[in-house]
Structure 1
Amino acid sequence: MSVNVIILNGVSSSGKTTLAKAIQKYSHEIWLHVAMDSFIAMLPDGREFDREWFPMVEVSREGEVLPQMTNGPSGEALLLEMRRLVRGLSETGFNVIVDEVAEADTIADYRGRLGNGCLVVKVDAPLSELERRERERGDRLIGLAREQSERVHNGISYDLEVDTHAQTPDALARLILERIAA
């Protein structure tokens, strides 16, 4: 089975969306971009952080209080439907780029649903760069990248790892496309 799903997994501000757009730009094929943020944005403004959906909690790490986004029951159900949608699109023959902040159990679920038809890519950058991007974007919760960087990638075996600070999105997109063509 050839790869028709690319899962870009990384913390907030790691460059997943920019990389997904670059893959779309450089591929000779059409790739649909399915983003976790788009699913969360389906909720009415201000309701996404409700207890049922994606509540924010504060966690203490090394004397610092950081925000942590969690999945309430409805949020978990919504993200499960996102994974089902990705599988359905893949089975129908669509190429899909998934833009996700996923822990090991979610990546395992994707692999179980997609088998060898997916390439799981760790999208990362140095923490100082993630925090700089977070501050400059102005639409990110400060501290989220730091909190996620300490747990998101734990226990995940990636097919490919990229550093969005060391290389341009264009170069990384070409690298990923070369990898799935091989």
Structure 2
Amino acid sequence: MREHPGTERDGHDANGLIVFLNGTSSSGKSSIARELLTLLDEPYFHLPVDAFHAMRSRPQLTPAEVDDTLKRTWRGFHRAVAGMAAAGNNVVVDHVLSEPWRLEDCLALFPADQVVLVGVHCPVDELERRERARGDRPAGLAASQVPRVHAHGTYDVECDTGTATPLDCARRIAHFLPERPVPTAFQRLRRQHGI
């Protein structure tokens, strides 16, 4: 696979590429990310938000404290992704843009020309089946996220894990990367949000 346009790999100050997978819980983002890492020629890091949540201790908290802790975790996750990319690392991120502030925070932090925003879709009945099979998520979580996660409506590339395998989706994304168009979805969204 060719070098990504707009990167200068011989310099340490060039931003890495951020492949940003956005979809509901159980939509298949992590499965796509794992397949994608096997297809790409350059080194990439998979940074799943679930890994950041898993690192956190679990003290007894009030509902307000839980909300504050979750928000700080998401904000820290965004800054970790930005830091990895700023150091020249390519990253594959899986994310759930279920709250508007999350998108706005990412738009402000990430180099918009170096983000490929991928919409990961899945039919609600399949999301519910996967939730039941996993058994580690509240019933109905993914279905409740569907209208919010994709509300911004702008992507560089999209896939549907209800009709395509994770490998098929990863191939679609990998094929898109070398000739990605400008402006990127992040550039268009920055203009829409006045960032």
More helix by share: 2
Equivalent positions of 1:12-31 (< 5 A) are 12-31=25-44
Report the CA distance shift for 1:115/1:49 in structure 2 as closer, same or farther (over 3 A).
farther
Whole-Å separation in 2 of the counterparts to 1:48 and 1:33: 30
Q: What one-letter code is carried by the residue in structure 1 that aligns with 2:119?
A: K
**CA offsets 1:118-168 (integer angstroms, 9 cap, x no match):** 011111111111111111112221110111113221124111111012111
Pick one of 29, 48, 53 that aligns with 1:40: 53
Measure how far apart 1:47 and its partner are.
5.4
Counterpart contact for 2:75–2:105, Cα < 8 Å: no
Equivalent positions of 1:138-153 (< 5 A) are 138-153=135-150
- Aligned-residue sequence identity (percent) comes to 35
More strand by share: 1
Query: Runs of 5+ in structure 2 lacking a partner?
Result: 1-5, 8-15, 180-195
- Is 1:89 aligned to residue 75 of structure 2? no
Alignment-derived partner of residue 9 in structure 1: 22
Alignment-derived partner of residue 109 in structure 1: 105
**CA offsets 1:25-57 (integer angstroms, 9 cap, x no match):** 11112211111111111122475895323xxxx
Coordinate RMSD, CA, aligned:
2.0
**CA offsets 1:41-94 (integer angstroms, 9 cap, x no match):** 1122475895323xxxxxxxxxxxxxxxxxx22221221111111111111110
Normalising by structure 1, report the TM-score: 0.82
Report the CA distance shift for 1:45/1:73 in structure 2 as closer, same or farther (over 3 A).
closer
Whole-Å separation in 1 of the counterparts to 2:155 and 2:140: 25
Counterpart contact for 1:13–1:133, Cα < 8 Å: yes
